[in-house]
Amino acid sequence: MELEEYFQSYESYFWEWRTDDHLSELSIIYFPNVMTTVAYRPYIIEILKEIQLQGWPPLGALLLVLYVTQDKFADIESLFSELNRYVERTETRELLEEAIELLKKLCNLPEKYTIKQNKITLLLTVFSENRIGVSSKNAEQLYDRYIKKPSIIEECTNKRNFNYEVFRKDIRTLAYINRKFSTTESIIDTMKGFGEIVDLEDELIKEETTIETDKDFIQQLIEEPKTFQVGSLIKRIWSGLKIPMRHLSPGEQPIGGVSDMTNKGDFSRMLLSEFANEDEVFMNRVANNEALYIQREIPPEENVFERIILIDTSLKNWGTPKVLAFASAIAVIKHPKAHSECKVFALGQNSTPINLDKVEEVIENLNLVSPNLDVSQSLEKFFKEEHSGKDLEVFFMTNQENLSNQNLQKVIHENRDQLKFLVTTSAEGELNFYKHDKGTRKHVQKIMLPLKELWANPPKRNLKGENNNSLKSKKADVPLNYPILFPTLKNRIATFLYEGEFFILSSKKQLLKTYLSDNYYNKNYYDQYKIHRGCEVLFEDISVRPKGQFALAKNKQQQFILCHYQPDKKLISKLNVNTREYFELNLSGYKIQNGSKLVHFNQDFYLFKKETFEVYKINLEGNISIEVISDIYAVEKNNSKVETELYKLNDNGVKILNNFNNVGINSEHGIVISNNALTKNYDNSLVFYRNKYPMTIFAQQNKNRFTFSEGSEIITDSRGMLTFKSSNQSIPEFYIPSMDVGFLALASHSEFGGSEYYLPESTLLKIRKMDDMILEYLEPFIHQIVEYGTEN
């Protein structure tokens, strides 16, 4: 193999070479589907140098391993979805499923095994049996060639047509490795045989708690799109701010006259008249401590005032006034002359302490909003119950219009001794600073901020909602189940009927429970409408191969037992889905006929074939064993009934949206998910139709979280569910399935509207008309974004 062939990139493949913004050479490897830089070229070359003695694995396989081990919040679902589209043959699909199993095991490794020198040990462990890649001898030759002429990789930027065999080689490498390591723990155990595992826990803690940055904090705020408006105002506020940044200690207060002179001090404090003396006289006076300095030396004394900033987060201080309030608060806290500690509280229904020291903290707290119209009660509680001391210097920041509220006026007046500064904001960019002095309020200054000018050049935002890498945030957690059912995929490994309940083993290795309509036993109604229900997830990440036959039952402890028969391998196995306990038995010594079926009957599993006189019984409880019995009639009769029932589930499956991108709002104020608009139909049903209108507002994507500029979020779940979280706390969290075609449902934790398909069999949800649900949940969610967000 030539060096160029090893590093060659291909059209529409899951990885590609890219040029770094700061360098002219081809320097990074990028995964376009998950919009992530995997590694820089020097890092890849260094890894290949370390592992060359045992050869190089195919580059694609190496990159996949690096991706899932370098970022604990890797968007593996999108990556796996991307890999699936290359599959052309059944054999390759089976290899891909095994490869994905390995990647999941690697993703679950504790972080200490995936960083620094331990990562090299991990790679040596994983790729120890290099069956498909470059031999060790050839790897050394290729490495030496690269060292002599590194520019040779530049030729790889010219992408060739997609090569199916390259993809097959990448995943076949990982599939073979997966067969070697049954669990994540087995990988760790094998690593210990390849080299010493360095304990890096202390370093991990240090890395997590130590923040190093080359950029000024204010500049970071300006460069981050979500905090640009706040950051761009701070230095302008500094230029006009006239309030004291620190208080002099009592001994530092200037008295004036001769009493303010001393014979000791810094040269910067020496009287100018001393420099009028001749050089010898001047030096004598300095040496003999006769020179005069301004202000006597004093022992240090603590500043007795506690500075506190209160920010109004009520509905009337939303939007631009709130941005000005946060900018003013940060301007006071981060002022170059401010050295004293300052505490910040968000006032809503209560007073909540917040931090504004990091960009991500500013983003998070900008989204705080209280449903209250004014904060007079929480402000009064703050002074009377929480901070009743007299030695306070409190800044209260609110909208100018709120001062007309009588309750708020009363609280401010009663606490004017502690509330030293009142800062008011307005939507036009006007800041007013008031000071309470000796019981009266004095206007200190007015600052008029030219918002249009300051906000004219926001940082470039990716209009298609790609990942924002300025902040490292994790993938949003999703629950095992929601208040409503998931749509059921058509792709499945097997379906089961157990004690009158229907179960599905999905292609995503999940055990699902599904339902039929309450009208199932009304034959006329059911035959006409065939109403099925969605499903709930019982278990995920079940370790099974999709090939073969399956049967499902429960043991005496009511734990699910999954029996798996693989005719090609002559293997029968049992998996306790609850405990993951596994047993298997080789059937080579048994004369099991081709075409035998695996079924469950009467608390045991059976292998049988019609028109034979023997049936093989596999025990349900304990270790796996098999025996031959002759009562085939009862087994065959029961299986016939089960197949009749399961036939009714044949059409129970839908197409779901699970590869999410391009989330936002179109010109008709409709939610758009992956180019599908959420549309209210003529009969008030809710459906996804292909979007026909231009997008005006885009959400920023970070893994499975899509965030709008004003703070509202849509969290996606590739299993088929969307979670809507509004920045307005008066709008409850709600859920909508992401089914591509068909009527949808909308539900909160207390109410449900829409298609019966998504309604759980047993539920306490209040059933409402879909029109009412749209009016009370979806439309306010959209209105909040349109009213307070920014268009792209």
Q: What are phi and psi of 488, to 5 degrees?
A: -95, 125
The alpha carbon of residue 92 and the mean position of all alpha carbons in its chain are separated, in whole angstroms, by: 31
pLDDT greater than 70 at residue 198: no
| 569-623 pLDDT tens trace | 899 999 999 998 999 999 988 888 888 999 998 889 999 887 777 788 999 988 8
Same domain, 709 and 630: no
Q: Which of 633, 645, 654 is nearest to 737 (CA)?
A: 654
370 neighbors 314 (Cβ within 8 angstroms):
yes
Residue 215's pLDDT is 47
Whole-number Å distance between alpha carbons of 687 and 660? 17
- Among 77-81, 715-719, 743-747, the minimum mean pLDDT is found in 77-81
Give me the domain span that covers residue 372. Answer: 219-246+303-454
**Kind of pairing, strands 664-666 and 501-506?**
unpaired
233 neighbors 449 (Cβ within 8 angstroms):
yes
Give 30's strand partners. Answer: 16, 37
* Helix 59-70 vs helix 116-126: crossing angle, to nearest 10: 140
Q: Final residue of a domain: which of 148, 180, 209?
A: 209
pLDDT greater than 90 at residue 38: no
Give 497's strand partners. Answer: 502
Same domain, 620 and 504: yes
Residue 669's pLDDT is 93
Same domain, 506 and 616: yes
Mean pLDDT of the chain: 81
Residue 339's pLDDT is 64
pLDDT range class, residue 440, cuts 50, 70, 90: confident
- Among 4-8, 34-38, 417-421, 438-442, the minimum mean pLDDT is found in 34-38
656 neighbors 688 (Cβ within 8 angstroms):
no
Q: How does DSSP assign 516-548, residue by residue?
A: E-TTTT-HHHHHHH--EEEEEEEE------SSS
- Structural domain includes residue 16: yes
Residue with more model confidence, 5 or 587: 587
- Structural domain includes residue 468: no
**Across 268-279, average pLDDT:** 84
Residue 761's pLDDT is 84
pLDDT greater than 90 at residue 631: no
Whole-number Å distance between alpha carbons of 708 and 226? 9
Residue 481's pLDDT is 95
Same domain, 501 and 639: yes
Same domain, 196 and 51: yes
Structural domains of the chain, count: 5
pLDDT range class, residue 668, cuts 50, 70, 90: very high
| 718-749 pLDDT tens trace | 899 999 998 887 789 999 999 887 889 999 99
Whole-number Å distance between alpha carbons of 69 and 91? 27
**Helix, strand, coil shares, percent, the chain, to 5:** 35, 25, 40
pLDDT greater than 50 at residue 250: no
pLDDT range class, residue 194, cuts 50, 70, 90: low
Whole-number Å distance between alpha carbons of 656 and 736? 12
The alpha carbon of residue 164 and the mean position of all alpha carbons in its chain are separated, in whole angstroms, by: 32
Alpha-carbon Rg for the chain, nearest whole angstrom, is: 34
Percent of the chain exceeding pLDDT 70 equals: 84
pLDDT greater than 70 at residue 523: no
168 neighbors 39 (Cβ within 8 angstroms):
no
Residue 22's pLDDT is 41
Same domain, 269 and 317: no
pLDDT greater than 60 at residue 524: no
pLDDT greater than 60 at residue 73: no
**254 to 248, 295, 298, 391: CA distances (angstroms):** 10, 7, 12, 22
Residue pointed to by tokens 């979805």: 81
| 274-314 pLDDT tens trace | 888 888 888 888 888 888 887 654 544 444 567 889 999 88
pLDDT range class, residue 173, cuts 50, 70, 90: confident
Most confident range (mean pLDDT) of 52-61, 84-93, 773-782 is: 773-782
Same domain, 289 and 227: no
| 444-475 pLDDT tens trace | 888 888 888 888 777 754 444 444 444 445 78
Query: Which segments of 468-615 does DSSP mark as H helices, in order?
Result: 523-529
pLDDT greater than 70 at residue 219: yes
Residue 199's pLDDT is 56
Whole-number Å distance between alpha carbons of 753 and 73? 34
Residue 203's pLDDT is 40
Residue with more model confidence, 160 or 370: 160
**Where do the DSSP E strands lie in 438-559?**
440-448, 492-498, 501-506, 511-516, 532-539, 549-554
Residue pointed to by tokens 């994790």: 474
Give 713's strand partners. Answer: 707, 725
Percent of the chain exceeding pLDDT 90 equals: 21
Helix, strand counts (H, E) of the chain: 22, 37
Residue 185's pLDDT is 84
Residue 210's pLDDT is 31
- Structural domain includes residue 459: no
Residue with more model confidence, 88 or 73: 88
Whole-number Å distance between alpha carbons of 236 and 238? 5
**Across 649-654, average pLDDT:** 69
pLDDT greater than 60 at residue 678: yes
Tokens of 729: 């706390």
Residue 623's pLDDT is 86
Same domain, 435 and 498: no
Mapped onto helix, strand or coil, the DSSP state of residue 41 is helix
pLDDT range class, residue 77, cuts 50, 70, 90: low
pLDDT greater than 70 at residue 260: no
Burial annotation 431-453 (CB, 10 A radius, 16+ → b, else e): bbbbbbeeeeeeebeebebebee
CA torsion sign for 756, 758, 761, 765 is negative
Residue 780's pLDDT is 92
Tokens of 324: 């000005």
pLDDT greater than 60 at residue 33: yes
Whole-number Å distance between alpha carbons of 488 and 508? 11
- Structural domain includes residue 278: yes
Same domain, 361 and 283: no
Alpha carbons within 13 A on the beta-carbon side of 493: 25
| 324-378 pLDDT tens trace | 999 999 988 888 777 667 889 888 888 888 988 888 888 888 878 777 778 888 8
Residue 652's pLDDT is 64
Same domain, 361 and 443: yes
Indicate the pTM of the whole model. Answer: 0.47
Same domain, 384 and 239: yes
pLDDT greater than 80 at residue 553: yes
Q: Report which secondary-structure segment, H or E, holds 407.
A: helix 406-414
**Where do the DSSP E strands lie in 172-282?**
261-262
Same domain, 53 and 202: yes
- Structural domain includes residue 629: yes
Residue 306's pLDDT is 75
CA torsion sign for 359, 361, 364, 367 is negative
Give 37's strand partners. Answer: 30
Reading phi first (left if > 0) and then psi (alpha if -120 to 50, else beta), residue 499 is in left
302: number of Cβ within 10 Å: 7
- Structural domain includes residue 659: no
Mapped onto helix, strand or coil, the DSSP state of residue 295 is coil
727 neighbors 711 (Cβ within 8 angstroms):
yes
- Structural domain includes residue 396: yes
Whole-number Å distance between alpha carbons of 86 and 95? 12
**Across 222-241, average pLDDT:** 84
Give the domain CATH number at 224: 3.40.50
Tokens of 474: 């994790």
| 756-790 pLDDT tens trace | 889 998 888 999 999 999 999 999 999 988 887 77
- Structural domain includes residue 478: no
CA torsion sign for 357, 360, 366, 370 is negative
The alpha carbon of residue 99 and the mean position of all alpha carbons in its chain are separated, in whole angstroms, by: 24
